[in-house]
Chains A and B, each alone.
Chain A
Amino acid sequence: SQQGEEDPQALSIQEGENATMNCSYKTSINNLQWYRQNSGRGLVHLILIRSNEREKHSGRLRVTLDTSKKSSSLLITASRAADTASYFCATDRDTGGFKTIFGAGTRLFVKA
């Protein structure tokens, strides 16, 4: 069963705009990871944020984590057409081993 839910399910923006995707989860976690998947291709790991961290940056990506609200957000700044993809959050539960459970994903479309 899926641990997290992303919103929005789909997002369409213009190139140059910022894109924000949110992820909520249900149980306590050790860490949360964000992935990108281009259509028909494999998963690309973007960022891992641990439960004791509140924010991480990687290039144009900014991830926040609020464990009190059981939520995370992924911000992509100055989006490009190449950012068009599905984005997934995945949580590593605090119990039940090291397995990682994925959310439903957000489909991002960046218009040139």
Chain B
Amino acid sequence: SAVISQKPSRDICQRGTSLTIQCQVDSQVTMMFWYRQQPGQSLTLIATANQGSEATYESGFVIDKFPISRPNLTFSTLTVSNMSPEDSSIYLCSARQGRGEQYFGPGTRLTVT
């Protein structure tokens, strides 16, 4: 199984600022994803992080708001830009190898004030 770490684990940010979340996987993986989880809710897929090319965003999420990088097979970043209180959430990085099990990082708890 893949072990996924995220930094930071939590942050409190002011509206209008941006935060970049880092995700590191302990082995090379085919696929990496970013999800958001509102308090008490399920997970919503933000985008698929593609190595060496632009991420593939789900409906309702755009690159200008959530730019994503994936420079190699073990690392990805998600930036939450121009934050508002509505962006307060847990952001989770996820990885899978082919069609195998999909694993998740511990999440980054973001509070926007």
Contacts and interface: CB of A to CB of B under 8 A. Distances in A.
A52 to B, nearest CB: 12
A99 interface: yes
A98 B42 contact: no
Contacts of A105: 42
B101 A98 contact: no
Interface string A24-58: 00000011010100000111010010000000000
Contact of A42 (B42, B98, B104): B104
A2 B44 CA distance: 7
B26 to A, nearest CB: 15
Nearest to A46: B101
Interface in B54-112: 56, 59, 92, 94, 96, 98-107
Please tell me the size bucket of the interface on B: 20 to 34
Prevailing SS type, chain A contact patch: strand
A101 B59 CA distance: 13
A100 B45 contact: yes
B108 to A, nearest CB: 11
A31 B33 contact: no
A110 interface: no
A48 B43 contact: no
Given A1-B59, A2-B42, A97-B56, A42 B105 contact: yes
B35 to A, nearest CB: 8
Query: Closest 10 CB pairs between A and B?
Result: A43-B104, A42-B106, A102-B43, A102-B42, A98-B31, A104-B42, A105-B42, A48-B101, A100-B102, A45-B101
